[in-house]
Amino acid sequence: MKLELARYDAALPDDVYLALAITGGIEDGDQRHTGFLVRSFDDENFLFHLGFNNGYLKNPLTSRYDYLLVPALEPETANSIITFLVMLLEDTGGNVQYSIAWEAEEYFDKDGKLTKFAAVDGFTCATFVLETMKRYGLDLVDRETWPLTEETATWQANILEKLQLPVEQYLAQFEVLGKYPRIKPEEALGAAHYYRGDLLPYPIVLPAGVEVVSEMRRLKAP
C-alpha cells in the first residue's frame, strides 16, 4: 500500500476511528509535530498529543494537520488504544513530561505504573506516539539502529531552550544532550505505515519519513 497522507478535512473511512496526524514545515530541517487523530462518535476529529511539557492534550483537529491511515490499526486495536489515551488523559490530567531522552526501556512499566517520571524522563511528540503504540503491542522501531548525530544534538539543545522546563528537568536533560537519538515526527508516521510486526531499522524508516514530508508537500501545493 502506497504511503499517502490525507488532508485534515478528508473524511475517515467508516470503520476508522484512529490515525496519526502531522503538521509543520515542508522544508528540510523544519520542525514538525505529530499526535493521534481520534474520531468521536459524533464524527468530530480530535488530536491527542504531547504539545509541551506537562501538556498532553485533547484538541480539535485543525486545518494545519494532515493524517495517515495506519494498516496495523484494526478497529479492535484502535479502540483499545483510544480507551488508553482517554484514560491516560484522565489519570494524568495532562501532566506528561516532555524530554529529549529516548530510553531503550519501556516507558509504561511492568508494575502497572503508566509512566516513569524522573527529571530526565518524558517524551517528545514522536516518542509519545511510539511508546503508546508499543504499550499496546505495536513496537514499531529498533531504537538501537538510530544514529547519534551532530544534527540531533543541535536540535536537542535548541528545543531544550524553548521548552521552559522547571530547573530540575532542564538540568537533567542538559546533561544528556547528544546522548540520545532522536526520532522525528515524520519518521514515526513512516514507521507506522511500513510496520508489519517486526522492528523497523533506521535505514528503512529514514526514507519513509522523507516520503511523509513529500506527501505533506503534495497536499500543500496549490
Partner 1 sequence: MINAMEIIEINDDVQRNDADPTWHTISTSWLAKSSRVSFGTCKSYAVRSDVSSVCRLASGAVFENYRSNLVARWSNMSVTGVDQEEALGLLDISNTIELLYKWEREKKGRLASAYAVYFVESNFSKRNLSAVNALLLSASVERLTEWSMVAILRSSYSSRSVLPAWSIFLDAVKHRLKDNERAERLLMGLNR
Which residue number, 107 or 202, has a Cβ lying nearer to partner 1? 107
Residue 15 interacts with partner 1 (CB under 8 A): yes or no: no
Is there a contact between 185 and 128 (Cβ–Cβ < 8 Å)?
no
Kindly write out the interface string for residues 147-186 of this chain, putting x where it contacts partner 1 by CB under 8 A and - elsewhere: ----------------------------------------
Is there a contact between 49 and 1 (Cβ–Cβ < 8 Å)?
no
Q: Where are the beta strands (DSSP E) in the chain?
A: 5-7, 18-24, 32-39, 45-52, 55-60, 66-68
Residue 100 interacts with partner 1 (CB under 8 A): yes or no: no
Percent of the chain as helix, strand, coil, to the nearest 5: 35, 20, 45
Distance separating alpha carbons of residues 158 and 51, to the nearest angstrom: 16
Q: Which residue has the cell 511523509?
A: 212
Per CB under 8 A, the segment of 70-78, 121-129, 168-176, 185-193 that binds partner 1 is: 70-78
Which residue number, 14 or 27, has a Cβ lying nearer to partner 1? 14
Residue 196 interacts with partner 1 (CB under 8 A): yes or no: yes
Per CB under 8 A, the segment of 5-13, 36-44, 153-161, 205-213 that binds partner 1 is: 36-44
Distance separating alpha carbons of residues 51 and 65, to the nearest angstrom: 14
* CA Rg value for the chain: 16
Per CB under 8 A, the segment of 69-77, 97-105, 164-172, 175-183 that binds partner 1 is: 69-77
Contact set with partner 1 (CB under 8 A) = 38, 40-42, 44, 46, 71-72, 74, 76-77, 79-84, 86-87, 89-91, 106, 108-114, 134-139, 195-197
